[in-house]
Amino acid sequence: MAAFCLSQIPSSTFISQCISDQSYLSMLEKQCASMKDLQKVHTHLIKTGLIKDPIAASRVLAFCTSPAGDMNYGYLVFTQIQNPNLFIWNTIIRGFSQSSTPQNAILLFIDMLVNSCVQPQRLTYPSVFKAYAQLGLACDGTQLHGRVIKQGLEFDQFIHNTILYMYANCGFLSEARRVFDENMEFDIVAWNSMIIGLAKCGEIDESRRLFDKMVSRNTVSWNSMISGYVRNGKFKEALELFREMQKQKIEPSEFTMVSLLNACAKLGAIRQGEWIHIFLRKNCFELNTIVATAIIDMYCKCANPEKALQVFKTVPKKGLSCWNSMILGLAMNGYENEAIQLFSKLESLNLKPDYISFIGVLTACNHSGMVNEAKDYFRLMKETYKIKPSIKHYSCMVDVLGRAGLLEEAEQIIRSMPLDPDAIIWGSLLSACRKHGNIEKAKRAAKHIIELDKNESCSYVIMSSLYAASHLFEEAMEERLLMKENNIEKEPGCSLIEVDGEVHEFVAGGRLHPKATEIYLLLNNLGLLLKEMRSYI
């Protein structure tokens, strides 16, 4: 799209004649490719006095509130408009409701009520309800709901749907259900909002029940259900629903594919993940930061960092999330030096690392036992980048010190950090104590874990193992008895394996797999075969 240069603007006389011409204003809007172009046009309109025309002002404001615009500049434009009409108020409120600062939409709405002679109408309210939904302020939104009822607008389709969206998005399911049930006619937007809200609150079975009852579905319906399954840890169900989506020839969106890649990452289903990657390429999906990060994350979590690195190198515009995913993926898969090199490259490109970037590089130092380097990066994060360490950063430091046998220093970090330690960070110290045979520190760590979570089994299991390794068998048995007395059970081990594109889950001692009988029979036969082979050795 060609840029709109100041020299291309016609004379003031011509503009004056055409300023009310919608086709000319439409052309002016289309010619602006960026805020820089719009600022030139805006400057010219100010100089000629044409900005006083409400149509011209509204078009400038409309561009500022678009995805290519700038809401801060838009607000400055708005403040210069004398006696803005309802359309202009609606434009600025809608723009802020879709921005990263939706609270400004609410503040402007209040300003409109209190300080202007313009009263809100049916097209004003949906943006304000969306702002309340974005902020999670459904309690405050109920007051606006009451105002809408008094004005007799509660059954307006757009208002009704945004009220439902606000309640569902904020977890007010009973209120959302009541509003939903008031809608006597099928409205796909309302159904989608309920499906999303139920899934978000963990009511995934009820969400699927509504999905199955829908008269017709669109891409949003399918994506909402698939992402709901992923959010609730039902990764197999997400993949199965996608297969059904394909059978019905529904075109998936970018968000559908990202949800499916996340499901494959959690399951370790690399074959299905590869198929989705190929599908994205064949169907010409844009390799933007969100999609690229999901692909990289999937390959890394499926233990194929080499393929992830290939994808990383082909991404045209790498966002910070791409770098973070690649750094962490390399660190988790034994490529610690490569992860650290990539972090250094990130810094050299003047991309400012965030707290996730430092989790990645600290993890790399942890896995490779680079204690001094970990300390340097931890100091760099705090002093140079002014990033406040989270519990995860402290956990990385405790882990790297613990693995190196620096137990006293590791414990000191836990006791001196400004955050309340959780069971995970004490668990890191406990594991290090077991590795280095330090019973006294292990006892203190285990005590803290039990105080934080009485049902946590790892402290009992690790202490029992540590006592047994130290030939303190009575103490080891006592830990096991304490577990039994407190009805604490060790969570059984679980493994996943992908065969012919299907993911199979196995739990230690479990017999729920449909072919469990045949599997155990095969294992018994293999055991007998091994015994027979030993007799010949």
Inter-CA distances, 505 with 42, 495, 527, Å: 62, 6, 22
Amino acid 32: pLDDT = 63
Amino acid 167: pLDDT = 95
Say which residue, 88 or 21, is predicted with more confidence.
88
Per-residue pLDDT tens digits for 402-417:
999 999 999 999 999 9
SS3 readout for 121-190: CCCCHHHHHHHHHHHCCHHHHHHHHHHHHHCCCCCCHHHHHHHHHHHHHCCCHHHHHHHHHHCCCCCHHH
Q: Of 29, 25, 30, 31, which is closest to residue 8 (Cα–Cα)?
A: 31
Residue 20 binned pLDDT confidence (cut-offs 50, 70, 90): very low
pLDDT of residue 5 exceeding 80: no
Per-residue pLDDT tens digits for 208-231:
999 999 989 999 999 999 999 999
Mean pLDDT for 90-112 is 93
Q: Are 154 and 163 in contact (CB under 8 A)?
A: yes
pLDDT of residue 361 exceeding 90: yes
Length of the chain in terms of residues written? 537
Mean pLDDT for 87-103 is 92
Q: What is the DSSP string of 407-449?
A: HHHHHHHHHHSSSPP-HHHHHHHHHHHHHHT-HHHHHHHHHHH
Report the interhelical angle of 439-452 vs 423-436 (nearest 10°): 160
Query: Among 285-299, 420-434, 450-464, which is the least confidently predicted range?
Result: 450-464
- Ranked by mean pLDDT, the top range of 44-58, 315-329, 503-517 is 315-329
Amino acid at 213: K
Q: Are 88 and 54 in contact (CB under 8 A)?
A: yes
The structure's pTM equals 0.74
Mean pLDDT for 81-86 is 87
Amino acid 27: pLDDT = 45
Task: For residue 73, count other CB atoms closer than 10 A to its CB.
Answer: 18
Instruction: Burial-class residue 284 by CB neighbours within 10 Å (0-12, 13-18, 19+).
Output: exposed
Amino acid 537: pLDDT = 59
Residue 530: both structure tokens together: 């091994």
Instruction: Burial-class residue 85 by CB neighbours within 10 Å (0-12, 13-18, 19+).
Output: middle
Q: In the chain, pLDDT over 90 holds for what percent of residues?
A: 51
Phi-psi category of residue 53: left, alpha or beta, with phi > 0 → left and psi -120 to 50 → alpha:
beta
Say which residue, 253 or 490, is predicted with more confidence.
253
Q: Of 345, 268, 167, which is closest to residue 501 (Cα–Cα)?
A: 268
Residue 315: both structure tokens together: 């991404």
Per-residue pLDDT tens digits for 154-173:
889 899 999 999 999 999 99
- Ranked by mean pLDDT, the top range of 57-66, 198-207, 512-521 is 198-207
Residue 24 binned pLDDT confidence (cut-offs 50, 70, 90): very low
Q: Are 438 and 407 in contact (CB under 8 A)?
A: yes
What is d(CA 279, CA 243) in angstroms, rounded to the nearest whole number? Answer: 13
What is d(CA 259, CA 324) in angstroms, rounded to the nearest whole number? Answer: 19
